[in-house]
Chain A
Amino acid sequence: MTRRPVFRDGVLRDNPVAVMLVGLCPAAAVTSRVIDAAWMSVGLFFVLLLTRLCQAILHALRAPDLSEPPAPGAPPQTSVFPLRPRWLGSLLLSSCFTAAFELILLAFAPSESASLGIYVPLLAVNCLVLERFQRSGPEDEPESPVRVIARSLREAAGLGAGFAICLVAISLVREILGSGTITLFAAGSFGGTIEVGGLSSVPVRALTYGGGGLLCLGYLAGFARLLGRRKRRSGATEAGRS
């Protein structure tokens, strides 16, 4: 049995924003300040991890399929309603955990809750999109329920970490160049804002607008593709030499 490094793949090979290009709405909309990107990443991590945990537990506890197997040659049975019950279940789980995160954010960081606005509820849809990249386990050996849960959690943590790294990287570029500041969590005498010398007096304001976010995303996706190709080429050259 070959065990894939699911956490590392979620961060690098299957990075949701830079490689898979999903969840682009929050990546462009909430990255004008680092703190907004950080809270959004925390929210996605929280919702994705709990949704996957519940799914994995339900999957591990599911009852055996007692329905009769279809007759040979019979056409496959398809539901009349286009949305499958599994998707609706995932949607319900992720939206409930999103509502819970909204309440937590409202209680502990009301100003951030107001700043993020409608993008927090939209985490439910983003998590559902990431659900589509869920991998099945190895086919050559049945997995124990504990292993299924552990693999789901590692995968969710990898995707969440990949999403967070991209969001924070884009927000750092946009905030440093666009405002000349880095906004972090306020603690004690630290007000939460670091001014970047030289850039705070002549910022590139365009980067703080929505269009700036789309430009940053486009170049990030392009650079990710360029790096991936170079890596593949160097790998092929080394394989040829050996």
Chain B
Amino acid sequence: MSLLGIILTFTLVDNIVLSRLLGICPCVSAPSDMRGTAAAAAATSLLMSLSALAGWALQTFLLEPLGLGFLRTPVFVLCVACIAGFLDLLARRAAPRLLRAARVPLAGVVFNCAALGVVLIAARGGFSALESLAVGFAAGAGFFVVLSLLTAIRERLDVESVPEWLQGLPLHLISAGLLAFAFLAFDRAFLSRLLRGW
């Protein structure tokens, strides 16, 4: 698959949130302003890209040569946690405003299944280094698209009258479900028709 195909697949067709259902918790409880959403999505995208690349390196140079494939889960989990910790450390020094806007410490992204999920998808897909980086970047872009759409929907819903028992997270989950059905329009046939001209 070409790099463009990978990016389109993991952004729209095989979206990490709506198709793989990973990272739902931050999507339905993210900050309700667009600036905070963009900051949270940018931080998560960066973590996903770096983690996918690091996961490829660990798989290729450590786990496969030494026959330690059964230790893949602990190695990947600790790798994602350490990258998230160091990114948080860097962001606190270099971009404290980004962290304040995101309202979630970057290290807290470890509690999000999406980052580990992307590493596992890239490792199981047998992608190269550049393709793994593209998978991480595209998954982050897909996360950003869904987070932005859900924030916009939430802003609209805030002014509508909704039954009390559905307000908040239940309604956000239902909105995400309906958005997932809308994203079913981006299927493999759509992608192949789109790429035929390239």
Contacts and interface: CB of A to CB of B under 8 A. Distances in A.
The interface residues of chain B, by DSSP majority, are classed as helix
Contact of B21 (A28, A103, A125, A229): A28
Q: Which of B24, B89, B92 has most chain A Cβ within 10 Å?
A: B24
**Could you say which interface size class chain B belongs to?**
35 or more
B142 interface: no
A74 to B, nearest CB: 22
A92 B77 CA distance: 8
B77 A82 contact: no
Interface string A126-164: 101100100000000000000000000000000000000
Contact of A83 (B28, B70, B107): B107
Interface stretch (A7-15, A175-183, A206-214): A206-214
B180 A122 contact: no
A199 interface: no
A215 interface: yes
A98 B75 CA distance: 12
Contact of B78 (A21, A92, A209, A213): A92
B165 to A, nearest CB: 4
Given A21-B169, A82-B105, A95 B178 contact: no
Interface of A: 21-22, 24-25, 28-29, 80-83, 87-88, 91-92, 95-96, 98-99, 102-103, 117-118, 121-122, 124-126, 128-129, 132, 206, 209-215, 217-219, 221-223, 225-226, 229
8 contacts: A82-B85, A83-B82, A83-B84, A98-B73, A121-B116, A124-B74, A125-B113, A212-B177
